[in-house]
Amino acid sequence: MKKINAFMPPAQRISSFEPYFFASLGKKIAKLKAEGMDVIRIDMGSPDLPPAGFIIEELVDKSRQPDTHGYSPTGGTAAFKQAIADYYMDRFEVKLDPASEVLGLIGSKEGLFNLSQVILNPGDVALVPDPGYPVYSASGIIAGGRVVHFPLLAENNFLPDLGAIPEEVLKDAKILWLNYPNNPTGAVAPISFFEEVVLFARKHHILIAHDAPYVDICFDGYTAPSLMQVPGAKDVAVEFNSLSKTYNMAGWRLGMAVGNPDVIDYLFTYKSQMDTSTFGPIFSAGVKALTGDQDWLEERNLVYKERRDLVVDGLRGAGFTLESPRAAIYVWAKLPAGESDSVAFCARLLEETGISTTPGIVYGAHGEGYLRVSLGTATNRIAEAMERLSNWKR
C-alpha cells in the first residue's frame, strides 16, 4: 500500500490493505530462485493441468473467425448462459432461467467481490467464515460494511454453528458467505446442512452467498451437492461457480453467478459500469467445456487423488495432524506439536527446503496453527516436496 504521506494518498477504504498474500510470496520466491534455490510451489490453488483438447480447439477455431473479435455481451453470450443452465440441470437437476437467473463472470472472484458492492451499505454486516477465502472479507470492507467472522472448527467438521451467531449481529446482517467443498480446509457439506441454511436465511432475511468452484473435484465416490438443489434456495441465495478449477481454465477467466434474479440483476448492472466482458471465443470454449464430454474429469480427478494421498501420507509422516479431504484441491493440516506460528513455520520450510506452502493465518485467525497445501503441482514435484519434508523433519 502507498504511504499515507505520498503525493496522492489512497482512498481510506483501501488504505489499510496490503498486497494479496500470493503477490508478496511470489516476490520472495523469485528472490530465492535468483539465488539458486529450487522452489517447489504447493501454495497457490492454480491447476497445472490443461483443459481437454476439444475445449482448446474450440477457442482456436473461433479465434480464427474474423467476426469474433469485437466486444461480447455484458454477463456472457446467450449460448454461454444457456450452457450454464444446461450444466445445472445435468449436474444437479436444478432448473435455471438463463435470461434472469444466470450471469457470466470474468472468473468467479469478480462476482464474489462485486456482490458486496451491490448488497452492502455502510455499516451492514457481512458474515464471513474463518478460515475463509480472503476476498469475502476484503470485498465487505471496501464496500464499507462491517465484517463479522464465524469460526469453522475441526470438531464441527469445519461447518459453521449458525445458532451461535448472536442476535444483535444477525439484525444487521445482509450477507452470509459459505464455501463447500471448502477452501482452505477441504471440508464438505451435506445437503441437510444446505437445507438448514435456507431456513436460516428466510428467518433472518439474509442473502446466502455460496462459493462453489470445487463441486466437480471429488474423490472416493463422493459427489458434492449444490445449494441450489434445496427447494426455495433461489429465493434467498446466489451461488458462484467457476470454470477455473472444474475445467483447468484458471487463466481463461470464466465464471458464473446463479440464483436470485434480483441479485443477478444487481450484479449485471454493476458489471455494465465496470467491464466490457470476456473475449467471445472464450465464451464459446466455455460452452464446449460445460456441455461437452465430461468423462475426462474423472481421469483428472484421479490425478488429484494420487497427489492428495502423497501429501496426506507425507504430512502425517512429518508429524502433522489432518483428515484426508474428499473434495477440492487442498490439504489442510495442523502443524506438528510444538509449532503454533504458521507464518514462521512456512517461512522456515521455504527457506530451508524450498517447499512453498500457505500459512493458515492467511485465511483468518482460526487458521493459525495450520498450513494449506495445494494439489495444483506436477505429481513428481509433489512427491519430491514430501521427500524433502520428511528429510527436514528427521
Reported as a single tens digit per residue, the pLDDT across 127-169 is 999 999 999 999 999 999 999 999 999 999 999 999 999 999 9
**Residues 305, 224 share a domain:** no
Residue ranges in the chain modelled with pLDDT below 70: 1-6
Whether 63 is covered by a domain: the verdict is no
> Looking at 274, 291, 308, which one is the last position of a domain?
291
**Residues 242, 213 share a domain:** yes
Reported as a single tens digit per residue, the pLDDT across 7-47 is 788 888 888 887 778 888 889 999 999 999 999 999 998 99
Whether 60 is covered by a domain: the verdict is no
> Looking at 271, 291, 311, which one is the last position of a domain?
291
pLDDT computed for residue 181 by the predictor: 98
Task: Determine the structural domain holding residue 145 and report its residue range.
Answer: 68-291
Average pLDDT, the chain: 96
Q: What is the 3-state secondary structure (H, E, C) of the chain?
A: CCCCCCCCCCCHHHCCCCCCHHHHHHHHHHHHHHCCCCCEECCCCCCCCCCCHHHHHHHHHHHCCCCCCCCCCCCCCHHHHHHHHHHHHHHHCCCCCCCCCEEEECCHHHHHHHHHHHHCCCCCEEEEEECCCHHHHHHHHHCCCEEEEEECCHHHCCCCCHHHCCHHHHCCEEEEEECCCCCCCCCCCCHHHHHHHHHHHHHHCCEEEEECCCCCCECCCCCCCCHHHCCCHHHHEEEEEEHHHHCCCHHHCCEEEEECHHHHHHHHHHHHHHCCCCCHHHHHHHHHHHHCCCCHHHHHHHHHHHHHHHHHHHHHHCCCECCCCCECCEEEEECCCCCCCHHHHHHHHHHHHCEECEEHHHHCHHHCCEEEEECCCCHHHHHHHHHHHHHHHC
**Residues 286, 304 share a domain:** no
pLDDT computed for residue 4 by the predictor: 56
pLDDT computed for residue 21 by the predictor: 82
As for how many domains the chain has, the answer is 2
